[in-house]
Chains A and B, each alone.
Chain A
């Protein structure tokens, strides 16, 4: 494959032909702000935040849709570029509720981050504010379109990754928003609540309902793990605060699934600390379960299994292992059954 060399902010970068200026900059470690761009989706070049100056070009092109040409000289931080970006952010803030104090996205919001970075305050333009009712008709996703910046990522991810096409841009101009067919609520739509749109939304327009109020983004510890539900084996981050799992978010580094998840993986974590969880060993006495210590329970089981084995042989015992236990646990179950109980009577629900 042929290569091209371009100069970005005085730094020479050699990239494969066909690379965009944005990608080339990122490869060189130069950060260009974006709102509508996403590496896994098509680029509409719509938000115009990623504009740069390229020698010999009159306007400021959007770097996400401009292909790097050999010998190109790019400036990503010229005064004109900074001004243009500022204006983009000012216009967005003019029609944005000043709700950062309680907004769920605070700390992770791209708009907030760029406003801070470019020193833009919300009082430059006093535009009309659109007012949309909040859609929280379903248990999973809250849609507050008043915070929507029309980047269209939700539209594209649902179409390009999920293949569902729940949203499309409805209405024109000022009122243009990503709406569902017939403008119905998500609950009424064909949405399958995979949450992909939430995972790409750069602002607080789409948020995980069950994560509302559980903690600020910077308070949450993220631990990457594998989904306990189906055999696809998606990876995601468990979000932990004060020793409690308070949410699940995508981890783009997941080999199998990228950021995609299904409703079970993303929203099915509440069972972890459900009040029904068994917390103590229980021994049945006269038909009633009574709490016991581990020592009592283990000794009783050991004694009974040993007795059965002595009286009737190992084959009078059997073990059901679990497709929900780890490999290490299944290995031990297999060893325990064969070596300790003395029987090959071990199976699990593979057939169900």
Chain B
């Protein structure tokens, strides 16, 4: 994370860092202060744009055109790193073919950004000594999210801006332990440590470790679970610490799906919107009431320490899981989270040497295969996980939903500094709730004029899936035709509007583009 401060060129694309990763944004500020060139690419004039040398305000959903045009410039102008491409990568030809026609002039049309700006950015990135790219959900929450990520990787491979200190592509993870949840196998296709469930060797390994037969068939992702529930094939659902009713796209569909589930169990701190639908609610302990570890966005495993006893009869999630497992006839015997970590060490190569004893002193970045290993600061140093870095030919596609006459505006969604996720924690934190009591929709002055609404005035926003009412704030930070709000507030239930169209590979829904219509509430 401190590496970012040492970069001399930073492209922050689709990441509202000052609000979503505030302390990390300090590193970006530090780099800028020390003379780094910062380019912010975001459809909204986010705060970080204020300190950027260039703000690329491209249309929501046009990232791929922008990135491919940068690759085009880098190849056409011979700015690519021949040595790196030769030694460390493969399939350069495929990329070169794919972006041949993606000239900045072509991209200017799709993105709304001038060809000159695209050229300059490409040159600056390729020419920098140490260039780093930061991105988050602004890149991934599109139906072409996987391709967007590949397009970013293409740029880093082309220029060799990877595998050295202060370079690389840095996806910033949103919630505190998304990284850890993925590492620990809370994913339908992989066991802990990204060991594929459909790989017979892995299946055998875990069958042996756990003493049961396991299914080789990859499971369903969240969105598919909802579809299965809606279709009636999913009968029982166990939700731990999530609130899909509010966090998932197309909430009305989610609500209907939940209603069809025969037996719903929710384990949480609060009676969330989802918990209200449950047949059984199990009260869980908060982070302050339990021991364990979280893994941050740079793969650093750090301790969570118990400071107080669980409130009332609530229990840490791990204890509840142990009880339930025992009740279902599969004995689990762990005295503490440290015991569980020992099992993790044994079956997860990346976590092999990460023990509570070592974490007492300091965090450890995985891969850390054994207890003598110091942990790994940055990945891909001498070689990529798969050997050579592979270029991928990817091309621009329009968002699933484009504005039309009936739904002329594009709604894009995100987060606010003072709040978190579906608000179940932050809205109950006194100061935060006071400082940011309600949500508003950001609207460009031109659109506000058309709608005849001023700041504080209410509008009705409707998509093909649902509608909400919400006050607006008129701001130049947003382009005409685009509107923005966060999904933290139940009163302005934003995901009733969003589209659950998903990227075919990563299956991330397209939160960043929904076509909506807006009218004044009188």
Interface residues of A (CB under 8 A from B): 138-140, 161-163, 192-194, 209-210, 221, 223-235, 238, 240, 243-245, 255-257, 260-265, 267-274, 276-284, 289, 292, 294, 297-302, 304-306, 308, 312, 314-352
Contact = CB atoms under 8 A, between A and B. Distances in A.
A314 B215 contact: yes
Interface stretch (B76-84, B273-281, B449-457): B273-281
Given A225-B307, A232-B296, A238-B288, A344 B176 contact: no
B176 A317 contact: no
Given A274-B428, A302-B328, A327-B177, A318 B219 contact: yes
Given A268-B420, A334-B184, A298 B178 contact: no
A326 B293 contact: yes
A86 to B, nearest CB: 38
B35 interface: no
Contacts of B295: 233, 327
A304 B340 contact: no
B305 A232 contact: no
Given A161-B26, A232-B1, A260-B26, A344 B294 contact: no
Interface in B302-318: 302-309, 311-318
Interface string B325-364: 1011110101001001101100000000000000000110
Interface of B: 1, 18, 20-24, 26, 29-30, 33, 51, 140-141, 172-189, 191-192, 197, 206, 210, 212, 214-215, 217-222, 225, 228, 233-242, 244, 247-248, 262-263, 265, 268-271, 275, 278-284, 286-290, 292-298, 300-309, 311-318, 320-325, 327-330, 332, 334, 337, 340-341, 343-344, 362-363, 417-421, 424-426, 428-432, 434-435, 506-509, 511
A351 B244 CA distance: 12
A140 B429 CA distance: 11
5 contacts: A140-B431, A256-B300, A271-B286, A278-B270, A350-B182
A6 to B, nearest CB: 31
A186 to B, nearest CB: 11
Given A226-B176, A320-B238, A327-B344, A264 B432 contact: yes
Nearest to A276: B270
Given A325-B177, A326-B294, A349-B222, A163 B29 contact: yes
Contacts of B183: 327, 330
A300 B428 contact: no
Contacts of B220: 318, 345, 347
A306 B242 CA distance: 23
B175 A268 contact: no
A347 B188 contact: yes
B502 to A, nearest CB: 8
A210 B430 contact: yes
Given A328-B292, A350-B178, A317 B237 contact: yes
A344 B186 contact: no
- Lowest 8 A-B CB distances belong to which pairs? A279-B312, A233-B296, A326-B292, A322-B241, A344-B219, A262-B22, A231-B173, A163-B29
A284 B185 CA distance: 31
A285 to B, nearest CB: 10
A329 B189 CA distance: 18
A330 B292 CA distance: 11
Given A328-B292, A340-B328, A344-B189, 19 more contacts: A163-B26, A224-B305, A226-B176, A228-B287, A230-B420, A233-B294, A271-B424, A280-B313, A316-B234, A318-B225, A321-B242, A322-B240, A329-B317, A331-B340, A332-B317, A344-B197, A346-B219, A347-B225, A352-B509
A231 B172 contact: yes
A244 B234 CA distance: 41
B215 A338 contact: yes
A213 to B, nearest CB: 14
Contacts of A347: 186-188, 219-222, 225
B303 A322 contact: no
B432 A319 contact: no
A349 B21 contact: no
A321 B186 contact: yes
Contact of B506 (A271, A345, A351): A351
A346 B33 CA distance: 44
Contact of A328 (B268, B293, B323, B327): B293
Nearest to B179: A231
Given A233-B176, A320-B222, A327 B238 contact: no
Contacts of B329: 306
Contacts of A300: 280
B317 A277 contact: no
A251 B239 CA distance: 34
B430 A328 contact: no
Residue in B238, B244, B289 whose Cβ sees the most chain A Cβ within 10 Å: B238
Nearest to B47: A192
Contacts of A330: 177, 180-181, 183-186
A232 B341 CA distance: 22
A139 B434 CA distance: 7
A294 B267 CA distance: 12
Contacts of A308: 235-236, 262-263
Nearest to A317: B236
A342 to B, nearest CB: 7
B340 A328 contact: yes
B287 to A, nearest CB: 4
Given A231-B175, A272-B286, A277-B283, A299 B327 contact: yes
Contacts of B240: 319-322, 325, 329, 333
B429 A323 contact: no
A325 B181 contact: yes
Contacts of A232: 1, 21-24, 296-297
A284 to B, nearest CB: 5
A286 B192 CA distance: 40
Contacts of B298: 233, 256
B312 A328 contact: no
B23 A234 contact: yes
Nearest to A266: B431
A284 B13 CA distance: 46
A326 B236 contact: no
B22 to A, nearest CB: 3
Contact of A229 (B176, B182, B215, B241): B176
A186 B309 CA distance: 36
A334 B192 contact: yes
B215 A336 contact: no
Contacts of B182: 350
Residue in A233, A302, A337, A349 whose Cβ sees the most chain B Cβ within 10 Å: A233
Contact of B417 (A263, A302, A334): A263
B51 to A, nearest CB: 7
Nearest to A209: B431
A166 to B, nearest CB: 14
B432 A329 contact: no
B269 A340 contact: no
Contacts of B327: 298-299, 301-302
A322 B29 CA distance: 31
A312 B429 contact: no
Contacts of A244: 308
B20 to A, nearest CB: 6
Nearest to B243: A349
A265 B429 CA distance: 11
Residue in B262, B265, B296, B363 whose Cβ sees the most chain A Cβ within 10 Å: B296
Nearest to B180: A327
Contact of B239 (A264, A282, A301, A320): A320
